[in-house]
Amino acid sequence: MIIIKPKYLLVVAALSLLSPVLAPERAHAAGSKKGICASIFEFFASPFKHKRNKSDQPTTTNEELVASTAIQSENNSALEQPPAKIKPDRNERKSRPKAKDKPKTQAATPNPAIKRLSDAIQKEIDSMQGDLNSYKELIAEVTEKSAGSESDSSPQSSKAVAELTAEFTPLIAKQTLLKNALAKIKDDRRLEHWERARLVEDLGADIQTLVDEYNSAGTASASRTENSGTMQKQPIKKKPSKPYKPKPIVSHQPKLLAGLENTNGKTYPHLSDSVVKDWLSSNLGSSAVSLLIGNQYQQVQPEMESDYLAAAQSIVEAGYYVLYDGESQFASKIDEVVGEYGVALCARPTTLNRLNFSRGVVIANPFLRMEAFNQSEKVIITRDSLTGLGMLVEGYADHILDPTGTWVNGFAKFKSDASSYGLGLYGSSSASTIDVLRLANNLKSTKKPKPIEPFDLIEAAKNVNDRDIPSMFRLANAMVEGIRLLTEVGPSTPGSIAGGAAMFGSSGNPGPFTELTYETAYILGRMGIPLATGGHGGVMRLGNQGAHDAGAHSFGITTSGGGFNLAKEGQYNTSDKYHTRTLGSSGYNSRIPLLLYRRQIIASAPGGGGTMREVAVSFVSMANHNSQQSPLFMFIGKNYYKILYKWLKNESSLPEIFKDSLHLVNKPSQVESIVEDFSEKLSKTRLKMLKDKPQKPRHEKRFTTSPRSGRD
């Protein structure tokens, strides 16, 4: 039994009383036939009737809908209800024209050339299709036979398939070309020159007329008229480009001239080095031959003098200038032969003033001096030239002037042997021996050069390109700042070797020479000798670490230029953990001179091309060393440097003072004894120099008048 609460009965009763008002048409239709409950149920169920599936509802035509609407309007006239809207049939709505649809424009008149050419190409494509189908059938047949036959006949079948494929491939390529051309023609696009040529080649000369007619007629869009109802394409108007206004060039000449004229400043010699190098490049350059003969420590062998002078004379007669080493003892004799057609390149102004060359210049930077010699057309060296030895090690030497024909290129053997260690030293020396007769024949005869004007520093600076002046100042500033930082820190202990030591080596892992490199730096530091390296990883880091652990000064001279990148991989990153001071440089042109600045000891650990460049500049610096005692040079690692060391020791033409300074280190215990012997020799040399140096009388020393005391 269902129990209904009284409050729900009151709601039902109220709704039954209001039903004629809420739905009069239902109350009129039901009237007395339905009870109150039925009327209430119909009232609540009516909103859900229209949500049934439309497929379940019976279809009603427009006539029935109109009739039912008329009946409802009669019933609702008393209540003044508006008539229901008539919805059109779905099919009838689809047939109505849309407002957005616009009448299509009249199609353009087709180009007759397009139709004739496309028909000819399509005809050729259809004719080729039969040949392609026959080839496909033959290939399939041969493949089936080879699959069902024995293995002995498979090579023959493969060969047959390959032959058929070779004949089949050109047809496919030809058909592809024709299809692409046909697609272009149907799309009303112009054919390229090579496409027209291929069509004529494939279809014959008869097609040439149709192709020319098609291209001369142009595209169909150009042939449309204004009556076709379409608008012709208008050419795109380009905006007029603004006139190019070059940026004003800032002249650096006043700054350069002011730096050069300030002779009391420290910048002057470093700026002048760059200006002289630029002057040699612009005035001599490829019109000169560098002739490096002799050294400053000994005279040239008498039996070689005539050949060397004849070589200098042949160079001038061939129409070249001669650039020679002014520090050599043979330089004055070369000057007598070449005269105003030669330039003596010196390392010190005192040498230039003492010898009074016809034409002479000074470059104190050993790296720039080596680069200045390399600017010539050819570099010819002799066996007794230390500067020439540096050019050979760097790879700048072209010929070795050896009249005896007994010279052996030991450096080439060293490079081929050291390349097995994988430290970046590869290739061989390209220098070849030559005599005076072959030298005269190899030089091309040109017009006799004009005499060289005497060098004037200020006039040469005025002709320097403005673009080169900033790099000159960068080099000069790096040298001045580096020298200041190096000289502020003295020896680690009193009485040690002034100037300290420099260590070269690979920026990578030295492998079996790691312990020897560290111990060498540690012993030098324990002896109170400051050490300078390139400041990066590998051997350089080991050297700084050894000196730092021994309590000595440790300098790292890094670089941020020079055309190479030392920030590659983790081992190249600069670390100042073991540096007393870290110095920056502008490249090799300032880095190597700072490494060699007043150094009395040079230690070369195993390395690659960069290490050999540092060794080469060291030899050039030792050739022009302003002392009677050559710096100590130690090769670290017997297995690596033994061939180079023996070759330099056995080369009889090199000066004995240079060969005595060379040492090969294989054990750390050798380092201390070698340095002590060198220090003893250095002290004796200094005492001898002090005794031989003339002393000025004391009465020649004058004092200025003091404004306070008035004494003279």
Q: What is the pLDDT of residues 242-299, one digit of tens each?
A: 666 665 656 788 888 888 876 555 567 789 999 999 999 998 888 899 999 999 888 8
Cα 67 from Cα 62, distance rounded (Å): 9
Tokens of 450: 């004009």
Decide: 400 and 304 in contact? Cβ < 8 Å.
Answer: no
- Tell which residue, 304, 460, 294, has the closest CA to residue 381: 294
Q: How many C-beta atoms lie closer than 10 Å to residue 545's C-beta?
A: 20
**Separation of alpha carbons 309 and 450, rounded Å:** 21
pLDDT for the residue numbered 217? 56
pLDDT at 705: 37
What H or E segment, with its residue span, contains residue 692? helix 669-692
Length of the chain as a residue count:
712
Token representation of residue 140: 């399939």
DSSP string over 594-639: HHTTT-SEEEE-S--HHHHHHHHHHHHHHHT-SSSSPPEEEEE-HH
pLDDT of residue 18: 58
**Residue 337: beta bridge partners?**
none
Cβ within 8 Å of residue 152, ≥6 positions away:
none
Please say whether the beta carbons of 666 and 637 come within 8 A: yes
Residue 604, beta-bridge partner list? 504, 635
Q: What is the enclosing helix (H) or strand (E) of 33? A: none
Given this model, what pLDDT does residue 239 score? 61
Question: DSSP state, 57?
Answer: S
In this structure, the dihedral spanned by the alpha carbons of residues 219, 220, 224 and 229, taken in order and rounded to 10 degrees, is: -130
Euclidean distance between CA atoms 176 and 192, whole angstroms:
16
Strand 662-665 and strand 288-292: pairing?
unpaired
Identify the burial level of 328 via C-beta atoms within 10 angstroms of its C-beta, where 0-12 means exposed, 13-18 middle and 19 or more buried. Answer: buried
* Single-letter amino acid code for the residue at 535: G
**Residue 500 region by backbone torsions, left for phi larger than 0, else alpha for psi between -120 and 50, else beta:** left
**Cα–Cα–Cα angle for 704, 705, 710, nearest 5°?**
155
Q: Can you read off the two tokens belonging to residue 215?
A: 């291209």
Helices (H), 456-583: 457-462, 469-488, 514-526, 539-549
Contact 485, 590 (CB under 8 A): no
Region class of 647: left (phi > 0), else alpha (psi between -120 and 50), else beta:
alpha
Q: What's at 546, amino acid-wise?
A: G
For residue 709, the SS3 value is coil
Name the residue type at position 114.
I
* Residue 526: predicted pLDDT: 93
Q: Is 348 exposed, middle or buried (0-12, 13-18, 19+ CB in 10 A)?
A: middle
The amino acid at residue 127 is: S
Residues facing residue 664 across a β-bridge: 635
Q: Which residues contact 648 (CB under 8 A, 6 or more apart)?
A: 410, 654, 659, 662
What does the H/E/C string look like for 180-212?
HHHHHHHCCCCCCHHHHHHHHHHHCCCHHHHHH
d(CA 328, CA 351): 10
| Other CB atoms within 10 Å distance of the CB of residue 121 | 22
Helices (H), 76-153: 90-94, 112-148
Looking at residue 576, its pLDDT comes to: 67
Per-residue confidence (pLDDT) for residue 136, from 0 to 100: 74
Structure tokens at 641: 């440097």
Contact 445, 319 (CB under 8 A): yes
pTM of the complete model: 0.62
Q: Which residues in the chain come in under a pLDDT of 70?
A: 1-114, 145-168, 187-194, 196-197, 200-250, 262-267, 427-429, 445-446, 490-498, 560-576, 626-628, 686-712
Identify the pLDDT of residue 592: 93
Residue 440 in tokens: 């005269």
Do residues 301 and 412 make contact, with C-beta atoms less than 8 angstroms apart?
no
**C-alpha distance from residue 2 to each of 5, 36, 41, 661 (Å):** 10, 19, 18, 126
Element (H, E) at 343: strand 342-346
CA distances from 217 to 207, 213, 222, 287, 562 (A): 16, 6, 9, 62, 62
Letter string b/e over residues 235-261, b meaning 16 or more CB atoms within 10 A of that residue's CB: eeeeeeeeeeeeeeeeebeeebeebbe
With CA atoms as reference, report the closest residue to 527 among 676, 629, 647: 676
Burial of 462 (0-12, 13-18, 19+ CB in 10 A): exposed
Residue range 166-175, pLDDT digits in tens? 666 777 777 7
* Beta strand pairing call for 581-583 and 321-325: unpaired
For residues 293 and 284, the answer to whether their CB atoms sit within 8 Å is no
Reference 361, options 379, 373, 371, 349; nearest CA is: 349
- Name the DSSP class of 55: T
CB 568 within 8 A of CB 590: no
Query: What is the C-alpha separation between 186 and 457, in angstroms, rounded?
Result: 76
Burial label for 632, CB within 10 Å (0-12, 13-18, 19+), is buried
Q: What pLDDT is attached to residue 128?
A: 77
User: Left (φ > 0), alpha (ψ -120 to 50) or beta: where does 691 sit?
Assistant: alpha
* Secondary structure of residue 527 in the 3-state scheme: coil
Give the per-residue pLDDT at 96: 52
